[in-house]
């Protein structure tokens, strides 16, 4: 995908950030039945597409492409602006096998984008609210991380001596201060989820290079990993219906810093959001018997 296309995908979110809003920190109670989804397939959007659609602020969960709207005899309301989202086109090619005259079939995924409209922007198509689905109880947030760390043999530590939160890749250790050291429980779980997402980045899990490649504060690699962890924390909070804007730092300097990074590296936003979704899927996959699977698993 060319840089121009990545810019097209991210420019709308950058505009929100310039207005003082981090789009990935919108109310993530839009999960389960009310999660943004295609009206025809009913498949929920995930990763970058979840951020792009949920951040637009529509109450209706349903979206359609222009062609789908026309096929259903709908009409887009005047002055309506579509929302670009990304999809992946599967393609095949043949490659010569080194040292022989044979070839082998290879598959690659090519990113594309298209524009969707929320049904609040459309006339002539009837829709009804989906039936409400129950969310996992917030009391299961501890169980989620405890089970994940136990299954992955991660050293999970809470302490009131070391007042810092981190994931140490070489020790495979998540450390957070005690709950009582946080202003509220939501801030504690946002931090715990952030570090848990970091822990998926080692070579034995999703291999984002945390234990094999060096990065320094402010570098592109470091910045992208922090964005992955922040997205993932928001996604996990959303699974439990946690919507608490006080736990996020939306200062002007914070947002302007991300605007600069994403303008310089427009592919970062799409890639980080999709890697965050993979991290959340990895953390929740061994816990799905405790949750409604439709809330934890889905298609792009």
Structure confidence by residue, pLDDT tens digits, 129-188: 888 777 788 789 999 999 999 999 999 999 988 889 999 999 999 999 999 999 999 999
- The tokens of 153 are what? 């043999």
- The yes-or-no verdict on residue 99 having pLDDT over 80 is no
d(CA 256, CA 274): 22
Structure confidence by residue, pLDDT tens digits, 226-260: 999 999 999 999 888 887 777 776 677 888 889 98
Structure confidence by residue, pLDDT tens digits, 51-84: 999 999 899 999 999 999 999 999 999 999 999 9
Integer-rounded Cα radius of gyration of the chain: 20
d(CA 168, CA 160): 18
Residue 140 three-state SS: helix
Structure confidence by residue, pLDDT tens digits, 192-230: 999 999 999 999 999 999 998 877 876 888 999 999 999
Cα angle: 235, vertex 151, 192; to 5 degrees? 40
pLDDT score recorded for residue 298: 33
* Burial of 24 per CB tally in 10 Å (0-12, 13-18, 19+): buried
List, edge to edge, every strand of the sheet that includes 173-177. 155-159, 173-177, 166-168
- The yes-or-no verdict on residue 290 having pLDDT over 80 is no
Q: Where are the alpha helices (DSSP H) in 58-199?
A: 66-71, 140-151, 185-199
What are the phi and psi torsion angles at 46 (to 5°)? Answer: -135, 165
**pLDDT grade for 93, boundaries at 50, 70 and 90:** confident
d(CA 67, CA 55): 23
**pTM for this structure?**
0.86
Question: Distance of alpha carbon 260 from its chain centroid, rounded?
Answer: 20
d(CA 81, CA 146): 44
d(CA 35, CA 55): 12
The answer to whether the beta carbons of residues 228 and 276 sit under 8 Å apart is yes
- The tokens of 290 are what? 């405790």
pLDDT score recorded for residue 31: 62
HEC readout, 16-41: HHHCCCCHHHCCCCCCHHHCCEECCC
Structure confidence by residue, pLDDT tens digits, 26-49: 755 556 678 899 999 999 899 999
């Amino acid at each position: 995908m060319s840089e121009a296309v990545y810019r097209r995908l991210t420019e709308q979110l950058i505009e929100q950030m310039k207005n003082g809003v981090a789009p990935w920190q919108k109310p993530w109670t839009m999960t389960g039945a009310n999660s943004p989804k295609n009206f025809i397939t009913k498949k929920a959007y995930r990763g970058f597409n979840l951020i792009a659609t949920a951040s637009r602020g529509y109450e209706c969960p349903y979206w359609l492409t222009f062609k789908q709207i026309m096929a259903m005899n709908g009409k887009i309301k005047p002055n309506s602006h579509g929302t670009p989202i990304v999809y992946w086109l599967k393609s095949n090619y043949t490659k010569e096998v080194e040292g022989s005259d044979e070839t082998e079939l290879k598959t690659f995924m090519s990113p594309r984008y298209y524009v969707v409209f929320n049904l609040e922007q459309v006339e002539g198509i009837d829709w009804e609210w989906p039936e409400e689905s129950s969310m996992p109880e917030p009391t299961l947030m501890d169980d989620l991380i405890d089970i994940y760390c136990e299954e992955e043999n991660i050293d999970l530590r809470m302490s009131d001596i070391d007042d810092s939160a981190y994931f140490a890749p070489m020790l495979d250790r998540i450390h957070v201060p005690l709950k009582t050291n946080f202003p509220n429980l939501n801030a504690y779980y946002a931090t715990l989820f952030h570090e848990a997402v970091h822990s998926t980045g080692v070579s034995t899990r999703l291999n984002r290079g945390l234990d094999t490649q060096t990065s320094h504060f402010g570098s592109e690699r470091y910045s992208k990993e922090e964005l992955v962890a922040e997205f993932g924390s928001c996604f996990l909070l959303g699974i439990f219906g946690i919507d608490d804007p006080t736990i996020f730092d939306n200062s002007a300097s914070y947002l302007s810093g991300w605007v600069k990074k994403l303008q310089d590296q427009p592919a970062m936003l799409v890639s980080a959001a999709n890697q965050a979704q993979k991290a959340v899927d990895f953390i929740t996959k061994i816990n799905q018997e405790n949750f409604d699977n439709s809330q934890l698993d889905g298609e792009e």
